[in-house]
A and B are shown apart, each in its own frame.
Chain A
């Protein structure tokens, strides 16, 4: 276990380094460079940039210095606004984290419940309905889904308020953000549950005279959860990127909106910093879910 953990953490560090390097050098490969004069708004910002990014030094050294700054929490400044990127990120991420956290929580809970129901009612109408709906949900791009929900429930039916900073109504954004991962978890839970219910040890439990509900919640669910846990890491990643879309549609001022803006504005330092920040987040999420997976599954634990 220790050996695995160390190996996994090392891989995560390497991944983060590679992502940072790709991001940095890719940005530098853009013709004229992200920091060339015509892209900076005024000479004052330009001067700050030159000092900040050590533009007089060779690229390799720039990268090392950039990484050192990152480690000290210095993400640089935005080309458009001239604000400290670190403050922008921490400010905006709070909003995104709340939205993403709610979506992730609901997605997991609802997904597990629906998946179990589908597995238990296999080939009956609840199963068919659940599977049809979840297949539908994973077939609609999130921005279309979000726009439709906004149009129907907020603007036409006026059931829920539109999100605004004064009246932060998270219902529609959370629903739009959670539907995809929820559907995925539902399908995953169902297939894994069916797989487990066909195992010999379930037959053993039945032969012991264990109650059907206990068979499901004690003997089956814990085994069925194992593959679901591996999805949680990628799910966090999905929610973070999904957040870009949902936040933009609902005009929630989170990190996602900020990222999309910075792409449209070609605000390269911002793109760079946000990419690295989100990437680190995803890598850590995957790492944690992999480690939990190892902890839950005794079979692998002792290999």
Chain B
């Protein structure tokens, strides 16, 4: 097996604020292979975005990576110098953000902002950069691209702006595109268009994508692998089929119960009760325990180990251990 394009090993990220250390990401690990799509799902505050910003190393004060490695082609980018990091961002890994309305600088034209990235990372001259910008706008399906280049962000609609963001992110042909909730701020009809566009571009350009969302529905048919995060930890990791049809973590099950589906005849959606944990003051044991219907005594005491369910499927839930134990007992092994 060749080395994966991106390996995240035991990454931890914290924010030091007045009331203590907010441990937003708490030792997560995953791999991403070339040309694959990885989905990261979780509710607000589960550390999805912070993971993305850690990979880009664009955390703002007081955020800091406190441990772990991020290996890109075997090189640890946590150890990169500022200069190395600058050359790396936008060229090897790009990111698009949640809110296209505020993610473009209001005082510069679209063309200016697109060119900036191209001029930074390639040796194209201004005219070539302009041509490339135009080409990118066409690629992402912006109508009247020549005119758009001269326009300011506020003259474009939200969907258009997100297309521009995608064009900007892909202009230097990065190996990985991180999409941080790219459709959350958009209308539902536009959401579908943007997702379709991303899938199409992925096929055409072959980059790997990390798709971050709180909406399981968004990533169902797009992702090769899905990670479910809760309170800065990975609960469960598996292929889309495994996550959807054979969830092995109580939180994942809860998430699935809470999304509307047409293929089952559940009369109503079941929400997950309670609210997320206080990240400055993490309880010992499983972070989800207090909201879990199946919560056991052990869940309150110790953190569940990662249990390999099969080659691609991993879950950290004591229920799996219990199940295995019960079955073994039934078979008389104990």
Interface residues of A (CB under 8 A from B): 122, 198-201, 203-212, 219, 222-223, 296-299, 302
Q: How far is the CA of A221 from the CA of B117 in the complex (A)?
A: 19
Q: Are A200 and B120 in contact (CB under 8 A)?
A: no
Q: How far is the CA of A207 from the CA of B55 in the complex (A)?
A: 11
Q: How far is the CA of A207 from the CA of B165 in the complex (A)?
A: 11
For the complex formed, measure the closest distance between the CB of A262 and the CB atoms of chain B, giving whole angstroms: 46
**A196 — nearest CB in chain B belongs to which residue?**
B105
Q: List 11 A-B contacts (CB under 8 A).
A: A200-B97, A201-B106, A205-B105, A206-B89, A208-B90, A208-B116, A209-B88, A209-B89, A219-B108, A223-B107, A302-B155
For the complex formed, measure the closest distance between the CB of B114 and the CB atoms of chain A, giving whole angstroms: 10
Having A208-B90, A209-B90, A223-B105, one finds 10 other A-B pairs with CB under 8 Å, namely A122-B61, A203-B58, A203-B103, A208-B120, A209-B87, A212-B82, A222-B107, A223-B107, A299-B154, A302-B155
CB < 8 Å neighbour of A211 from B86, B88, B168? B86
CB < 8 Å neighbour of B56 from A199, A207, A297? A207
For A122, A199, A298, the residue with the greatest tally of chain B CB atoms inside 10 Å of its CB is: A298
Mask for B93-136, Cβ within 8 A of A = 1, else 0? 01101010011111110000000110011000000000000000
CB < 8 Å neighbour of B99 from A200, A212, A223? A200
The answer to whether residues A208 and B117 also contact, given A200-B97, A298-B106 and a CB cut-off of 8 A, is: yes
Q: How far is the CA of A122 from the CA of B90 in the complex (A)?
A: 27
Q: How far is the CA of A198 from the CA of B63 in the complex (A)?
A: 13
Q: Are A204 and B116 in contact (CB under 8 A)?
A: no
Q: How far is the CA of A272 from the CA of B58 in the complex (A)?
A: 60
Q: Does B244 contact A (CB under 8 A)?
A: no
Q: Are A200 and B102 in contact (CB under 8 A)?
A: yes
Interface residues of B in 3-61 (CB under 8 A from A): 56, 58, 60-61
Which residues from chain B contact A198 at a C-beta distance below 8 Å?
60
Which residues from chain B contact A299 at a C-beta distance below 8 Å?
106, 152, 154
Q: How far is the CA of A206 from the CA of B61 in the complex (A)?
A: 14
Q: Are A204 and B97 in contact (CB under 8 A)?
A: yes
Which residues from chain A contact B313 at a C-beta distance below 8 Å?
none
Which residues from chain A contact B60 at a C-beta distance below 8 Å?
198, 203
Q: How far is the CA of A299 from the CA of B101 in the complex (A)?
A: 12
Which residues from chain B contact A296 at a C-beta distance below 8 Å?
107
Q: Does B163 contact A (CB under 8 A)?
A: no
Q: Are B97 and A209 in contact (CB under 8 A)?
A: no
Which residues from chain A contact B85 at a C-beta distance below 8 Å?
209
Q: Does B91 contact A (CB under 8 A)?
A: yes
Q: Are A298 and B103 in contact (CB under 8 A)?
A: no
Which residues from chain A contact B95 at a C-beta distance below 8 Å?
207
Interface residues of B in 287-316 (CB under 8 A from A): none
CB < 8 Å neighbour of A298 from B82, B87, B91, B107? B107
Which residues from chain A contact B155 at a C-beta distance below 8 Å?
302
Which residues from chain B contact A206 at a C-beta distance below 8 Å?
58, 89
For the complex formed, measure the closest distance between the CB of A51 and the CB atoms of chain B, giving whole angstroms: 57
For the complex formed, measure the closest distance between the CB of A216 and the CB atoms of chain B, giving whole angstroms: 13
Q: How far is the CA of A298 from the CA of B60 in the complex (A)?
A: 27
The answer to whether residues A302 and B154 also contact, given A209-B89, A210-B120 and a CB cut-off of 8 A, is: yes
Q: Are A204 and B103 in contact (CB under 8 A)?
A: yes
CB < 8 Å neighbour of A200 from B89, B103, B107? B103
Q: Are B86 and A209 in contact (CB under 8 A)?
A: yes
Q: How far is the CA of A223 from the CA of B152 in the complex (A)?
A: 14
Q: Are A219 and B105 in contact (CB under 8 A)?
A: yes
For the complex formed, measure the closest distance between the CB of A227 and the CB atoms of chain B, giving whole angstroms: 13
Which residues from chain A contact B61 at a C-beta distance below 8 Å?
122
Q: How far is the CA of A302 from the CA of B154 in the complex (A)?
A: 9
For the complex formed, measure the closest distance between the CB of B118 and the CB atoms of chain A, giving whole angstroms: 10
The answer to whether residues A209 and B105 also contact, given A299-B154, A302-B154 and a CB cut-off of 8 A, is: no
For the complex formed, measure the closest distance between the CB of B16 and the CB atoms of chain A, giving whole angstroms: 12
Which residues from chain A contact B99 at a C-beta distance below 8 Å?
200
Q: Are B104 and A208 in contact (CB under 8 A)?
A: no
For A201, A207, A210, A299, the residue with the greatest tally of chain B CB atoms inside 10 Å of its CB is: A207
CB < 8 Å neighbour of B97 from A203, A210, A297? A203
For the complex formed, measure the closest distance between the CB of B90 and the CB atoms of chain A, giving whole angstroms: 4
Q: How far is the CA of A207 from the CA of B290 in the complex (A)?
A: 37
For the complex formed, measure the closest distance between the CB of B86 and the CB atoms of chain A, giving whole angstroms: 5
CB < 8 Å neighbour of A201 from B56, B104, B117, B152? B104
Mask for B145-171, Cβ within 8 A of A = 1, else 0? 000000010110000000001001000
